[in-house]
Amino acid sequence: KMQEAYLLGHPGVKNNILHGGQGPLPHFPKGTKLVFHFQTLLDNFERTVIGDSRKNKHPTEIFVGKMFKMEVWAVLLTSMRIGEVAEFWCDAIHTGLYPMVSKGIRLAAQGKDPLEGQKHTCGMGNLFHYHSTGFPELDELMRTPQPLIFIVELISVGDPFSYQRESWMMEKDEKLKVVPSLHLLGNALVKQGRFREAAEKYQEAVVLLRTVQSREMPGDEDYINLDRLIIPLVLNYCQCMLELEEYYEVIEHTTELLDKHKDCVKAYYKRAKAYAAVWSKREARRDFQMVANLDITLSRLVQTELNLLSERMKEKYWEDKESHIKSGI
């Protein structure tokens, strides 16, 4: 039975060691590579198993302090000795991202693209897409966040420099491998309304892709393909900034995108919304017009936005006039 003792300093996590490990508790400086197997169980009477890394060819690997797929896993693993098997009960607050992480791990294990079904281009469509994960039990978790039980075996702890070394040696692959999970993580955070954290994930992914891209020849196939991955991430980042009302940030990033991709409808639309929010009527109208020119099916949406803009400008005019009168100007 689970100890009632919570893991030291971590509310919402209880642990129970099933099989002791060897030696002292390892050091876990930043960059340490952790290799482990895990099983995920529902916290129900049957303790239904909904995830098992042993079904994959390779165990799961993460690096301490480096773009954790799930923050709570860092907490669990760094409380363990090598060879230890422990069971952890984690409150729903720690497990919200599990469905997205699990989907990524499953697709990668099948040799598929972990971002399957997440491809956006510059067309409009939904500003954020949430498809089904493709796994009914994970969809159920997305609908009803709940506590989960993880049974974890810590297989090995690499030296802290292995991250730097591998990220140099396997530079491109390592970086490209991390991008889909950052993208999915961003989407999951958006779904929880955590726009600031989501924006950080999208930004991290963009930085990784741009670093890889800086070593390619502009115009090469690889360079162009990287651009295709960067665009949706930048647009998602801008959508978060709109939600956070950081309009100048949106204007800066969409402008940069439009310098390279003149026909990116979503970028014009987001920039128009940002211009409208900071009362730049002429610029907002021009961008909304571009949206309608590039995609005729959006003319009705654009008309609605333009009417809204005119209304808001009128209101602002009268409010300004009133405040001038009151202040005796």
Q: What is the mean pLDDT of residues 65-79?
A: 75
pLDDT of res. 1: 43
What pLDDT, on a 0 to 100 scale, did the predictor assign at position 298? 92
The pLDDT value given to residue 147: 92
- Residues 39-64: pLDDT tens digits? 999 999 999 999 999 988 888 887 77
* 12 Rama sector, left if φ>0, alpha if ψ -120 to 50, beta otherwise: left
How high is the pLDDT of residue 113? Answer: 62
Question: How many residues make up the chain in this entry?
Answer: 329
Neighbouring C-beta atoms of residue 60, cutoff 10 Å:
19
Number of Cβ within a 10 Å radius of residue 256: 12
Q: Which amino acid is at 84?
A: E
Q: Quick one: CATH architecture of 13-120+128-158? A: Roll (3.10)
Identify the CATH assignment for 172-296 out of 1.20.1530.20, 3.30.9.10, 1.25.40.10, 2.40.30.170: 1.25.40.10
Burial of 200 (0-12, 13-18, 19+ CB in 10 A): middle
Domains of the chain: which residue ranges? 13-120+128-158, 172-296
What six digits make up the tokens of 227? Answer: 């651009």
**pLDDT tens per residue across span 104-132:** 778 777 777 655 544 444 444 433 344 56
Q: Which tops the pLDDT comparison, 12 or 261?
A: 261
Phi, psi torsion values for 35, nearest 5 degrees: -115, 130
Give residue 202's pLDDT band: very low, low, confident or very high (50, 70, 90).
Answer: very high
Which of 6-15, 192-201, 228-237, 256-265 is least confident? Answer: 6-15
Mean pLDDT in residue range 304-309: 92
What's the pLDDT band for 36 if we cut at 50, 70, 90?
very high
Instruction: Quote the percentage of the chain above a pLDDT of 90.
Output: 38
Per-residue pLDDT, 123: 47
